[in-house]
């Protein structure tokens, strides 16, 4: 995940079966950095969808700013596909947005949607992000095993703010506290 001074946030996720690098494929980590060359989420999404998805293993990408958000699916061939994310809370995992067949989304999306976020109190969302209960496939804070698991967590929001607020846990969020990332006062 990365953010630029214009408030564009870009996050990359693996699609099912695409964990790790592959010979002849570029690192997906370059995609958020490519998106941040743009001053708006819409321009960044347009730039990513113009790329050849065959250069990378499959990926899901979320690009947002204070005006809106986009989900981008790269299927390791052709051009990435884009769809706008609607207003409100969406959940993106290794699967498509809000895909209720995914146990993680089925268990946690309604929990996130039930919380009325407050710019002064993110503790209900941080509690959800820290949850390790339930079967592994439904955990949002996944116990690491076999090279897959939660090693850190972020929450970024513009609720009630002119500029984004970024909270970051430098470790699994049930073990590491969320701290505010100091952003320059000149954002925006």
152 & 107 share domain: yes
Residues 6+ apart with CB under 8 A from 120: 160
Long-range contacts of residues 146-150, Cβ cutoff 8 Å, at least 24 apart = 147/19, 147/20, 148/19
* Domain presence at residue 188: no
Average pLDDT value for residue range 44-65: 96
Give the residue from 94, 115, 140 where a domain finishes: 94
89 & 11 share domain: yes
5 & 72 share domain: yes
73 & 21 share domain: yes
89 & 107 share domain: no
Task: Using a pLDDT cut of 90, give the percent of the chain over it.
Answer: 65
78 & 106 share domain: no
pLDDT of residue 174: 96
160 & 114 share domain: yes
Give the residue from 47, 67, 94 where a domain finishes: 94
* Domain presence at residue 32: yes
The pTM of this model reads 0.89
Mean confidence (pLDDT) of the chain: 90
111 & 51 share domain: no
87 & 106 share domain: no
Least confident of 38-52, 72-86, 133-147: 133-147
**Structurally, how many domains does the chain consist of?**
2
Domain ranges, residue 46: 1-94
DSSP structural state of residue 53: G
* Domain presence at residue 44: yes
95-137 per-position pLDDT tens digit? 999 999 999 999 999 999 998 877 778 899 999 999 999 999 9
pLDDT of residue 73: 97
106 & 73 share domain: no
54 & 129 share domain: no
In the sheet with 68-74, reading across from the earlier edge strand, the strands are 2-3, 9-14, 59-65, 68-74, 81-85
């Amino acid at each position: 995940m990365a953010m630029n001074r214009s408030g564009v946030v870009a996050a990359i996720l693996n699609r099912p079966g695409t964990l790790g690098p592959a010979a002849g494929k570029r690192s997906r980590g370059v995609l958020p950095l490519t998106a941040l060359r743009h001053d708006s989420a819409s321009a960044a999404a347009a730039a990513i969808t113009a790329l050849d998805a065959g250069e990378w293993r499959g990926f899901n990408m979320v690009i947002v700013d204070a005006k809106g958000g986009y989900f981008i699916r790269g299927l390791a061939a052709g051009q990435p596909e884009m769809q706008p994310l609607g207003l409100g809370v969406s959940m993106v995992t290794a699967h498509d947005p809000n895909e209720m067949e995914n146990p993680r989304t089925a268990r946690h999306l309604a929990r996130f949607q039930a919380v009325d976020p407050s710019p002064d109190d993110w503790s209900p969302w941080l509690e959800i992000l820290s949850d390790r209960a339930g079967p592994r496939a439904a955990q949002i804070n996944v116990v690491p095993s076999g090279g897959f698991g939660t090693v850190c967590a972020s929450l970024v929001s513009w609720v009630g703010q002119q500029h984004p607020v970024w909270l970051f846990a430098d470790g699994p969020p049930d073990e590491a506290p969320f701290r505010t990332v100091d952003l320059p006062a000149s954002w925006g």
